Structure 1
Amino acid sequence: MQESENPSIPDPAEPADEAAALGARKQAEWAAERQIIETAEAARVLEMEAAASAGREKILAQVAALPALPGVYRYFDAQDQVLYVGKAKHLKKRVSSYFQRDHGGTRIGMMVARIARLDTTVVRTEAEALLLENNLIKALNPKFNILFRDDKSYPYLKLSGHAFPRISYYRGAVDRRHRYFGPFPSAWAVKESIQLIQKVFKLRTCEDTVFNNRSRPCLLYQIRRCSGPCVPEGQGADYARNVSHAERFLLGETQQVMDGLQAQMMAFSDALQFELAAEVRNQIQALARVLQQQSVDENSATGRDRDVDILAAKVQGGRACVNLAMVRGGRHLGDRAYFPKHVEEATATRLAEDDQPDEYSPERQVLEAFMAQHYLDAQVPSLIVLSEAVDEALATALSEQAGYKVTTQAQPRGQRRIWQEMCVKGAELALARLLSEEGSQQARSRALLDALDLTVEDINSFRIECFDISHTAGEATLASCVVFEAHQMQSSEYRRYNIEGITGGDDYAAMRQVLTRRYSKLAEAAQLGTGRLPDLVLVDGGRGQVSMAREVFEELGLDLSLIVGVEKGEGRKVGLEELVFADGRPKIGLGRDSAALMLVAQIRDEAHRFAITGMRAKRAAVRTGGSRLEDVDGIGPKKRALLLQRFGGVRGVAQASVEEIASVKGISRELAEEIYRVLH
């Protein structure tokens, strides 16, 4: 009893009671906090639902007030990003169909659920609506519209305005002093035509600077590919006649050219100039062989058939291809394949909105999108042969845009039928090749994820950024960053970084600088949810480069497991590379035949190529960049020559101090400071 009454000995039941009470209080506090959070979340959900309901009511009221006129409509989401751009003959009827039907869980249903705002523009005609629609599609890049890459940079064959014209390959703005023939679907088609012109008509291909300074004909004259107008004996009327024949041939007047050559041959023969007659005979034979090799029937290549575009569309596996074949001057010049984006989303949207979806096949939708976007601000031939019939309003709009009648034909006969079948086959082959390549790339992406034990939410959004450093003995140091995403290289996201303020040749310092510049702001944006870090960061280098990358990522608070270095294998042999990790994992070798290694090598080589080309351009600008001195006000030819002579070139001037530059005769202190500023 005395022991139990001793106050120095605690009651063992008391701590247990206190702990239980403390636990109960904590649980009560947590329950209260959870209740507050759940209440706030429920209130937020109700608020969002009320806002969405109010927004939907506002949109429906706006739809009810739309006119029964042609126009263009645009849907936006809550972040004010454009979802879809469409045209309509009857705005009210078309737009209301999106909100009056139950689209369920389809793609169109998901799009309609995201609509937070609606804009419309009323126009006078359906043709105007079509043009406005595609201008907006190209400018806004909506997620639910078919979008083609805006690439109309076709090559041309150029005949210069020189007294002795030169035939050449050309791409760029047109100069009225010269004549242009085309466009051609590819550079290969232009070069093939140039070779043909050389064989048959012997026109010169040398630059004017070379032509003006020759004293004897070149090798092309010796092998009968040029008539030698660079020397007096080759500057007769024959060259002008051959130029005229070449022009008419390129314009499709082949029969007239043949008749003219035959008349010329007979004239030489009657004048007993048998050697000249034999040369013209050889021209006729060469031209005849060329015409026999053309896939165009000369009897049908008359009138408007001299300039024709043939279009064929193929949709498969969620991807689409439009194949464009060109006939110019009655000659089939080849074809070119285009692959649009957003095909699945856009075709689902169009099928859901039309009353008769069977008439609007995916191929027709893709063709119409291509024609509207491709010919919007480009030259349009008067005849377009198609694999699918398209909306007549499209031809009307193109005619109004071109200023002459444009005809479309989907059921051709004769030669046009042959062109159509060839174009369709080309589209099928191009699409099959694309799907095969994408399947292969997807397999490589999966193999790399498995090899590195990486997990991503969507393999189709798997993103890799790769860095490489390039310089020549420390000169013109430059870093490259290339991006691989959606199973392909994304060249539009490539970046180059000029590296400054480091010791020449210090690759580690260069890597540290480029990674810091690349990820310092991106890391902050990612924490705020407004930016996205890559799933994998490749650096071209071994443990040294990886250690530098690790330091940067530790400073920025980024995940070290993202960093992988590509280390050269034994003897620097291809296929023996090893991967080095920043998070402490042992390095691994994937094996020469590994699909994952193939992908890593592809990305690494692209980063190296991109860095090398940038470094060479930068180095050339430094070595031959005297023009940078000419950009300085107050520097003329004499002062520039004195500077270059004193310091041994622009690089030497750039390395000189302001005092050293000012010591050159005629260079004031103010001018020296300006020169130093420009060169640095």
Structure 2
Amino acid sequence: MSNSLFETLQQDVKRLPGLPGVYRFFDEAGNILYVGKARNLKKRVSSYFQRTQLSPRIELMVGKIARYETTVTRTETEALILENNLIKELAPPFNILFRDDKSYPYVMLTGHEYPRLASYRGKVDKRNQYFGPFPNSWAVRNSVQILQKVFRLRTCEDSVFKNRSRPCLLHQIHRCSAPCVGRLSVEQYAQDVAQATRFLEGDHRRVLSELEKEMHAHSEAMEFEMAAVLRDRIADLSSVLQQQSMDAVADGEGDVDIIAVAQMEGMVCVNLAMVRGGRHLGDRAYFPKGLRTASGDLLPPSEILEAFIAQHYLEDAANDGAGANLIPPVLVLNHPLKSAGDDVRQSSDDLPEDLHDLLNAQAGKKITFLHQPQGQRRHWLAMAEGNAKIALTKRLVETGGQLARARALVDVLGLDLEGLEHLRIECFDISHTSGEATQASCVVYAKNAMQSGEYRRFNINDITPGDDYAAMRQVLQRRYANFQELPPEKMPQVILIDGGKGQVEMARQVLTEFGMDVGLIVGVAKGEGRKVGLETLIFADGRKPLELGIDSAALLLVAQIRDEAHRFAITGMRAKRAKARTVSRLEEIEGIGAKRRQKLLARFGGLKGVANASIEEIASVEGVSLTLAEQIYRQLH
């Protein structure tokens, strides 16, 4: 940054308001550098341009700033939520970024007369009861199985429940009490639901006590069959609790989240373990990005923990209907959070000084942070740290294999790269069925992984059906028509073409027309039997074809990317073909317009349902006469 620009920014920030909000820094090319929040925008943003008290990482960022933008919010909480949304959307290189892939499942009890037990993801409403969240679907399935075994609640859909005339298989194997056919009253079923609810809330002792009282009452009333049923429930529940060796019922631990940070060979894992109602539900590993300082060192664990807590809890608590359930009253951490400091931050991550207060306000309850727990919580924390290291080891092995493949491909192709993280490969494939519904796909390999967010599909039109060469020409023309405007990191070093000499020639012609380097093109010609390892690499710049062999790590990476392009193309083509066939076959019938077609498809659930319907059933659709129904029937048969 020049001195004149620095001075201009210094003067400009003096006009900022002293209000809460979010700020964004950009470089000369307009690329986002950093997103931060502030209680006082003027004070916080001006702190970056004081030339003092800046860490090496922040100093490096400030040197790249060309302009900034700000957004004023009503409160600091709103600023924090907006900041996290922008971090996830824009992925600034100087922010700690956790992948936003969490969609937590819940155990749901519906609000019916006979409530249904099910797993659920998504927004919640007041009509049903929700318990959780659970870290993964396995934990939910396990809980549902326990509740089925012990309390025998129904899990069937409403349409099945209403139309049963006799008990289903689940009743026969003692997993359902068959309320669908009146095997027990509404009151009896409600009692089972109440006990299941208390179990999910962690009140296991009370549930066992109630079951024992019921069993003795039935026994004294000479109702030995019912007493035996309750005896079996008690035995099942006791067995479940004994198997759950990680329970802390006696200690009254309740709801706790355990968050552990582990580092290994330059990689970081944040492991989140969930305890609900005293039961350990399992854990989930996260691998954050943006953790390096200017000198290449990893950021302190306390900063990583703060970034995780802010991004994981606060946004969901505000936007998710079950947000209050997401934040438990106790967070156990393996490192203390850094103490609240001045507005000038020494770290890369501009997190709130009063994160604790914001969590309390968002959750509507007091949140306790512990980093030196005792008893059962100490055991849970040690287990979370161990699982974080296991996840890191697994990721390192996987990444190491992928890196080895990428390094082998770079060597084989003779690419000149500063590092493997700069390798970008775009792969194209064409898919159709005898010329119908032709689609092209482009998949991207970058940053040592497939980048599904950058995949693209192209509908291919105005070509002779089945002309793969013309289809390849069209997709490459559309993809690279404005390649001069691409930022350097978006320009591929390799353009993989799924095909032989013909497709490679089409690619050479297109790149020549655009003035691009034809040395980027690598064709992947299938070998005998289309087996992986027998492919031949074909080049457009005069290099001899390469047959790397089945043991080649480079060819394994090429095959992985090629297969992903094929998968992405064929799924799009099938969807397009199915839609085209559905519309065209009904459009061919005289008297069927858009409204009637929509009503027919809605009534019978698609073209197959219409084809399977009788003439009388088709005629029952509003606007369809018997004559037209006969015409539709004949056309579809």
Contact 1:146 1:346 in 2 (8 A): no
Q: 1:177 to 1:131 in 2, by over 3 A?
A: closer
Is residue 2:118 matched to residue 1:156?
no
Give deviations 1:541-590, integer Å, cap 9, x for gaps: 33333333333333333322222222222232332222222333332222
Letter in 2 for 1:385: V
d(CA) in 1 for partners of 2:598, 2:526: 50
Assess if the C-alpha contact under 8 Å between 1:540 and 1:566 holds in 2: yes
Query: Displacement of 1:485 after TM fit?
Result: 0.3
1:495 corresponds to: 456
Larger mean Cα displacement after TM superposition, 67-76 or 112-121: 67-76
For residues 211-270 of structure 1, the C-alpha deviation after alignment (integer angstroms, 9 at most, x for no partner) is 222333332222222222332336665433322222221111211111121122222222
Report the CA distance between 1:202 and its aligned residue.
Answer: 1.9
1:376 equivalenced with 2:314 (yes/no): yes
Q: Deviations over 1:525-551 (max 9, x none)?
A: 35xx78843111112233333333333
Distance 1:316 1:95, change over 3 A: farther
Q: How does 1:438-449 map to 2 (within 5 A)?
A: 438-449=399-410
Paired residue type of 1:388: H
Answering whether residue 398 of structure 2 is matched by residue 437 of structure 1, we say yes
Mapped contact 1:447–1:596 kept (Cα < 8 A):
yes
Cα deviation for residue 289 of structure 1 reads: 1.5
Q: Distance in 1 between matches of 2:434 and 2:473?
A: 19
- Cα distance between partner residues in 2 of 1:159 and 1:367: 34
Alignment of 1:226 with 2:176, yes or no, is yes
Give the Cα separation in 1 of the matches to 2:295 and 2:199. 43
8 Å CA contact 1:318, 1:343 repeated in 2: no
* Percent of aligned pairs sharing the same letter: 55
* Whole-angstrom distance in 2 between the partners of 1:573 and 1:234: 59
Query: Contact between 2:81 and 2:315, CA under 8 Å: does it hold in 1?
Result: no
Q: Which residue of 1 aligns with 2:206?
A: 256
Q: Which amino acid aligns with 1:431?
A: L
The separation in 1 between residues aligned to 2:508 and 2:533, in whole angstroms, is: 25
- Count the aligned residue pairs: 584
Aligned-partner Cα distance in 1 for 2:76–2:465: 63
Instruction: Spell out, residue by residue over 1:29-63, the C-alpha distance to the aligned partner (whole angstroms, 9 max, x if none).
Output: xxxxxxxxxxxxxxxxxxxx9xx322222334456
Q: Distance in 1 between matches of 2:224 and 2:548?
A: 72
Shift in alpha-carbon separation, 1:615–1:206, aligned structure 2, 3 A: farther
Contact 1:384–1:408, Cα closer than 8 Å, also in 2: yes
Aligned counterpart in structure 2 of residue 100 of structure 1, from 45, 51, 55: 51
Shift of 1:484: 0.4
Does structure 1 conserve the Cα–Cα contact (< 8 Å) formed by 2:444 and 2:454?
Answer: yes
Q: Distance in 1 between matches of 2:546 and 2:303?
A: 49
Please say if residues 20 and 39 of structure 2, whose CA atoms lie closer than 8 Å, have aligned partners that are also in contact: yes
Does the residue aligned with 1:344 lie in a helix, a strand or coil? coil
Higher relative contact order (CA 8 A, sep 6+): 2
Q: For 1:85 and 1:269, locate their aligned partners in 2 and report how far apart those are by CA, in whole Å.
A: 67
Deviation at 1:367, TM superposition (A): 0.4
2:449 matches 1:459:
no
Query: Which residue number in structure 2 is paired with residue 298 of structure 1?
Result: 248
Counterparts of 1:221 and 1:624 in 2: how far apart (Å)? 41
Residue deviations 1:267-305 (CA, integer Å, cap 9, x gap): 222232323222222211111111112243434453xx3
| Cα pair 2:422 2:489 within 8 Å, conserved | no
Deviates more, 1:287-296 or 1:254-263: 287-296
Q: Which amino acid aligns with 1:384?
A: L
Question: Match for residue 243 of structure 1?
Answer: 193
Asked if 2 retains the 8 angstrom alpha-carbon contact of 1:131 and 1:397, the reply is no
User: 2:267 corresponds to which letter in structure 1?
Assistant: R
Please point out which of 458, 477, 485 is paired with 1:525: 485
- Does 1:541 find its partner at 2:502? no
| Per-residue deviation, residues 72-91 of structure 1 (Å, max 9, x unmatched) | 66543333444234457887
Q: Which residue of 2 aligns with 1:575?
A: 533
Q: Indicate the SS of the match to 2:358.
A: helix
Shift in Å at residue 136 of structure 1?
A: 5.1
Instruction: Provide the C-alpha distance between the structure 1 equivalents of 2:579 and 2:265, rounded to a whole number of angstroms.
Output: 47
Preserved contact between residue 108 and residue 348 of structure 1 (Cα < 8 Å): no
Counterpart residue number, 2:346:
none
Distance 2:593 2:258 in 1: 50
Distance between the aligned counterparts of 2:454 and 2:54, measured in 1?
36
Instruction: Please say if 1:565 is aligned against 2:516.
Output: no
Equivalent position amino acid for 1:521 in 2: N
- Structure 1 pair 56–525 and aligned structure 2 pair: CA distance change class (3 A): closer
* 1:468 Cα deviation from its structure 2 partner: 2.2
| Matching residue's letter, 2:51 | Q
The structure 1 residue matched to 2:594, chosen from 626, 632, 639, is 632
Q: Deviations over 1:345-367 (max 9, x none)?
A: 48979x9xxxxxxxxx6110000
TM-score, length basis structure 1: 0.76
SS at match of 2:111: coil
- Find the partner of 2:469 among 490, 508, 523: 508
Deviation digits for residues 393-448 of structure 1, max 9, x if unmatched?
A: 21112112222222211111111111111111122222232233222222211101
- The structural deviation recorded for 1:462 is 0.4
> Does the C-alpha gap of structure 1 residues 295 and 73 become closer, same or farther in structure 2, counting only changes over 3 Å?
farther
Q: CA contact under 8 A between 2:60 and 2:294: conserved in structure 1? A: no
The residue number in structure 2 matching 1:386 is: 333
Q: What amino acid does structure 2 have at the position aligned with 1:494?
A: Y
Structure 1 contact 144–346 (Cα < 8 Å) conserved: no
> Where do residues 103-502 of structure 1 align in structure 2 (5 Å cutoff)?
106-117=56-67, 133-134=83-84, 137-138=87-88, 140-233=90-183, 237-300=187-250, 302=252, 305-345=253-293, 362-378=300-316, 379=323, 380-390=327-337, 391=339, 393-502=354-463
Alpha-carbon spacing, 1:122–1:389, altered in 2? closer, same or farther (3 Å): farther
Letter in 2 for 1:599: L
User: Hey, what's the Cα distance between the residues in 2 that align with 1:428 and 1:462?
Assistant: 28
CA contact (8 A) 1:315 1:362 kept: no
Deviates more, 1:463-472 or 1:378-387: 463-472
Using a 3 Å threshold, how does the CA distance of structure 1 residues 67 and 167 change in structure 2: closer, same or farther? closer
Q: Distance in 2 between matches of 1:182 and 1:483?
A: 36
Asked whether the 8 Å contact 2:429–2:497 carries over to 1, the reply is: yes
Give the corresponding residue for 1:599.
557
Counterpart code for 1:364: S
Deviation of residue 161 (structure 1)? 2.3
Change (3 A) 1:123 1:280: same
Q: Aligned partners of 2:185, 2:461: CA distance in 1, in Å?
A: 56
Q: Give distance in 2, aligned partners of 1:626 and 1:174.
A: 39
Aligned residue for 1:376, secondary structure, equals: helix
Who is 2:347 aligned against? Answer: none
Q: Which amino acid aligns with 1:308?
A: V
Contact 2:241 2:247 in 1 (8 A): no
Q: Report the CA distance shift for 1:326/1:166 in structure 2 as closer, same or farther (over 3 A).
A: same
Q: Distance in 2 between matches of 1:457 and 1:505?
A: 41
Change (3 A) 1:220 1:125: closer
- Matching residue's letter, 2:557: L
Greater Rg over alpha carbons, structure = 1
Secondary structure in 1 matching 2:387: helix
SS in 2 for 1:268: helix
Question: Which structure's residues are more often helix, by fraction?
Answer: 1
Deviation at 1:98, TM superposition (A): 5.7
SS in 2 for 1:143: coil
